[in-house]
Amino acid sequence: MNTARHIACLILFAIATAGCSHDAENTSAFQHISVLSGARIAVHAHSGPDAIVSADGDMSIDGKTVAVTPPQRDLLKQYFAGAIALRNDALATGAAGVATAGQAIGSVVSGLVNGKPDEIGPAVEARAAKVEARAAKVCADLSALRAKQEAIAGQLAAFRPYATIDTGQAGDCNRGSG
């Protein structure tokens, strides 16, 4: 039963992430941030224009540069790096989920055809454990990004409307990956 649940979860995850691509422009890492390029991300507020944060720690809102201090710039650089890490880890997890789902289907067919159904569960569960470990990394990335978001919002008033990742989302992610 546990194996069947893993397979179902992997297949659903594979379907959900099938549209992800490393080369796609303006792909959403999640609902709060869009990666515009390797050097810029758009951070979304609940309303109003997006904030653009660069790899260099620059920030602009509605085309206007926001003045930042050196410590704020460092936090913005860390935030940018965290957003890129989250996106990359999420894409890698999705790809691993798709591969694992395909391998799981192959293991089921092979185990049934060869008359070795007892070998199906352990093979699938071992692969699923690797995907779960990757998913835990995504959750850690989200928690770290939220912490950076809160640090920036505490120091830079212009960023406060963009601090939209809440504690519930990080907690939900962690509960779902375990």
Q: What is the pLDDT along the chain (178 residues), one digit of tens a residue?
A: 454 444 445 444 444 444 444 444 433 346 788 888 889 999 999 889 999 999 999 999 999 999 999 999 999 999 999 999 888 888 887 777 777 777 666 666 666 666 666 666 776 777 777 777 777 888 888 889 999 999 999 999 999 999 988 776 656 676 655 4
Cβ atoms of residues 36 and 84 within 8 Å: no
E-assigned strand segments in the chain: 27-30, 33-37, 40-43, 51-54, 59-61, 64-65
Hey, where are the domains in the chain?
2-177
pLDDT at 90: 83
Cβ atoms of residues 82 and 146 within 8 Å: no
- pTM for this model (two decimals): 0.70
pLDDT at 92: 80
pLDDT at 27: 35
Cβ atoms of residues 10 and 100 within 8 Å: yes
Residue type, 73: R
Residue type, 29: A
Cβ atoms of residues 174 and 167 within 8 Å: no
